[in-house]
Chains A and B, each alone.
Chain A
Amino acid sequence: MEALQAFFAQYGALLAQGTWDTIVMTFVSTVFAYVIGIPLGVLVVVTAPDGLKPHRAFNRVLGWIVNIGRSIPFIILLVALIPFTRFVVGTSLGVPGAIVPLVVSASPFVARMVEQSLREVDGDLIEAAQSFGASTWQIVYKVYLPEALPSLIRGAAITFITIFGYSAMAGTVGGGGLGDIAIRYGYQRYQNNVMIATIVILVVLVQLIQTAGDVSARKLDKRNR
């Protein structure tokens, strides 16, 4: 008990700051990744050969971009993007420095998740909307997105958790947050207790997010009686 008190007296503030940094990093990156990923995913679906506005060349190029983005391991992207990150936010360190590579690597991931969610929407509904004279844009925001909402929310929880994991990697190049703490104390100074504390915090946060995602998706889904 006393040992625990002593531990928190010494590292409590540090861990709280790290947790906060990780959450901010992850949250801001997720938001930006969706701002970029939703339009990309929608465009992929709409311009597909069986889509509302088929466009073979555009669809191919888009597919390549998304695939290239997804095939570069995050740790490599992190380092490769340092000059770009400096250019965009002025530094490659700390929370701002981590957000840029996180957004770049998560956006294609989000695009694929969104694409998958939209493809689950029953094609008959799209056709019904067309039969009432809906334009492509109206079908996207009045049918595709609302009908796919529960699936999109589940996807968002997965995305959040994935970015969460990546953000710990960002810690290895001075990105701040829990990953940074785990490396500096757990790896470089052999302080296992700090390492274990970060792991416990990460596990608890991931569980919370997953549960929040599942519950809200289920609550919002009108297909449940």
Chain B
Amino acid sequence: MIEIKHLSKTYNADDAARAHQALVDIDLTIDDGDVFGIIGESGAGKSTLVRCINLLERPTSGRVIIDGQDVTDLSGKQLLELRARIGMIFQNFSLFQQRSVLRNVTFPLELAGTSKAEREKRAHELLELVGLGDYANSYPVQLSGGQQQRVAIARALANRPSIMLCDEATSALDTMTTHQILELLRSINEELGVTIVLITHSMAVADAICNRVAVIDGGRIVEEGETSEVFAHPQAQMTRALLGIEGQVTA
């Protein structure tokens, strides 16, 4: 379970002229086994919010509690161990270009000091799981976007995380490929029991895979609930705008 309590994030807090409040008093609970969608327009603060979960970004105030453990102030080795327990995938895949597909997947295991034989065995299993068993010795440049994101998913699963963060994981992909990647994420959620936190600006993506969603606007959560409920009875103006019910929000 991920509990986010009164979380605020101000960038450049020490410089009044450049200070920018990206998140304001966020309260959110993500249960084990959820596929939790965080939806919002560009600049709403989505990335900042998920990056606070694995502390790539330090909250300015508030707490982040994972499985009952307050992780907000972790540092040093404990912080690295926390991050290793949380998988992450990205919009641009972020595969290491000079590493083969296999060695991309073994990367997190190398960090943990797993033996070579063991990590390669695990990587081959994961590549089978994501449907890329034949591509172990390829390099990222030789793969399509969808294939690259599959490798990234295999890499994120290497450490057997209980949580996976997806920052716009399908935004760079076409509709068909997006659909396939979402199916893969769904099966990972259902079969491996991985809790998924998924950022998107697409209502269609959220609708396809999330059981719960939160809508974020200007750094604040403006609506949260069961996906079906939120989509059927949107309350906040931003939700309606994203659903295309009311006219576009004025910029």
A147 at the interface (CB under 8 A from B): yes
Contact between chains at B96 and A131 (CB < 8 Å): no
Contact between chains at B80 and A134 (CB < 8 Å): yes
CB-CB under 8 A for A142 and B83, given A128-B90, A222-B97:
no
Give the interface of B toward A (CB within 8 A).
Answer: 54, 56, 79-84, 86, 88, 90, 92, 94, 96-100, 107-108, 110-112, 139-142, 155, 159, 165
Contact between chains at B111 and A131 (CB < 8 Å): no
Question: What's the Cα separation between A130 and B107 when bound, in Å?
Answer: 11
Q: Which of A122, A130, A134, A146 contacts B99 (CB 8 A)?
A: A146
Contact between chains at B88 and A128 (CB < 8 Å): yes
What 1/0 mask marks residues of chain A from 118 to 146 whose CB sits below 8 Å from any chain B CB?
00001011011111111100100011001
A189 at the interface (CB under 8 A from B): no
Given A132-B83, A142-B110, A222-B98, list of 6 further CB < 8 A pairs? A124-B92, A130-B83, A146-B99, A147-B96, A225-B141, A225-B142
Could you tell me the distance in whole angstroms from the C-beta of A129 to the nearest C-beta in chain B?
A: 8
Chain A's interface: helix, strand, loop or mixed, by majority? helix
CB-CB under 8 A for A130 and B56, given A125-B94, A146-B99, A222-B98:
yes
Question: What's the Cα separation between A150 and B98 when bound, in Å?
Answer: 9
> Nearest A residue to B82 by beta-carbon distance?
A133
Contact between chains at A149 and B83 (CB < 8 Å): no
CB-CB under 8 A for A222 and B141, given A132-B108, A132-B111, A133-B111:
yes
> Nearest A residue to B79 by beta-carbon distance?
A133
Contact between chains at A132 and B159 (CB < 8 Å): yes
Residues of chain A contacted by B88 (CB below 8 angstroms): 128, 131-132
Could you tell me the distance in whole angstroms from the C-beta of B76 to the nearest C-beta in chain A?
A: 9
Question: What's the Cα separation between A9 and B31 when bound, in Å?
Answer: 87
Question: What's the Cα separation between A23 and B82 when bound, in Å?
Answer: 51
Contact between chains at A223 and B92 (CB < 8 Å): no
Residues of chain B contacted by A131 (CB below 8 angstroms): 54, 56, 83, 86, 88, 165
Q: Which of A133, A142, A149 contacts B81 (CB 8 A)?
A: A133
Contact between chains at A132 and B107 (CB < 8 Å): yes
Residues of chain A contacted by B100 (CB below 8 angstroms): 222
Contact between chains at A133 and B108 (CB < 8 Å): yes
What 1/0 mask marks residues of chain A from 195 to 225 whose CB sits below 8 Å from any chain B CB?
0000000000000000000000000011111
CB-CB under 8 A for A133 and B83, given A142-B110, A223-B141:
yes
Residues of chain A contacted by B94 (CB below 8 angstroms): 122, 124-125, 127-128
Contact between chains at B98 and A149 (CB < 8 Å): yes
Question: What's the Cα separation between A138 and B77 when bound, in Å?
Answer: 13
Residues of chain A contacted by B97 (CB below 8 angstroms): 125, 147, 222-223
> Nearest A residue to B81 by beta-carbon distance?
A133
Q: Which 8 A-B pairs have the closest CB atoms?
A: A133-B84, A128-B94, A133-B83, A133-B80, A131-B88, A132-B108, A222-B139, A124-B94
Question: What's the Cα separation between A223 and B138 when bound, in Å?
Answer: 11
Could you tell me the distance in whole angstroms from the C-beta of B203 to the nearest C-beta in chain A?
A: 26
